[in-house]
């Protein structure tokens, strides 16, 4: 399919009234309780994801610090006594 210059896609034509209509239809189909529980689960998922990212970053920083500490002194123990 070839797009012409100036042709709008379907998503650009929705606008505020369209979004409100979609929200009302979703609310009628699923009900307020189901939507609120679904949003609660989405919030828990986002929180869990952020926690996992922070823990992963912390682990990487700890490993980098360990490598940096190990790389500071590479002289064998026998040669340390000779100096």
Q: How far out from the chain centre does Cα 77 lie?
A: 46
pLDDT band at 2 (very low <50, low <70, confident <90, very high): low
Specify the pLDDT at position 14: 79
Determine the 3-state secondary structure of 71 from DSSP: helix
For residue 52, give both structure tokens.
């996992």
pLDDT band at 52 (very low <50, low <70, confident <90, very high): very high
Cα–Cα separations (whole angstroms), residue 8 to 3, 11, 20, 39, 42? 9, 8, 20, 31, 32
Specify the pLDDT at position 6: 57
For residue 37, give both structure tokens.
């529980």
> What residue segments make up the domains of the chain, in order of their start?
32-71
Specify the pLDDT at position 11: 62
Specify the pLDDT at position 73: 63
């Amino acid at each position: 399919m070839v797009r012409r210059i100036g042709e709008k896609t379907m998503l650009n034509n929705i606008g505020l009234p369209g979004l409100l209509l979609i929200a009302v239809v979703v609310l009628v189909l699923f009900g307020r309780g189901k939507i609120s529980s679904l949003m609660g689960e989405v919030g828990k998922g986002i929180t869990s994801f952020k926690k996992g990212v922070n823990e992963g970053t912390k682990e990487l920083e700890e490993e980098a610090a360990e490598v940096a500490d190990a790389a500071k002194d590479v002289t064998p123990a026998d040669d340390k006594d000779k100096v």
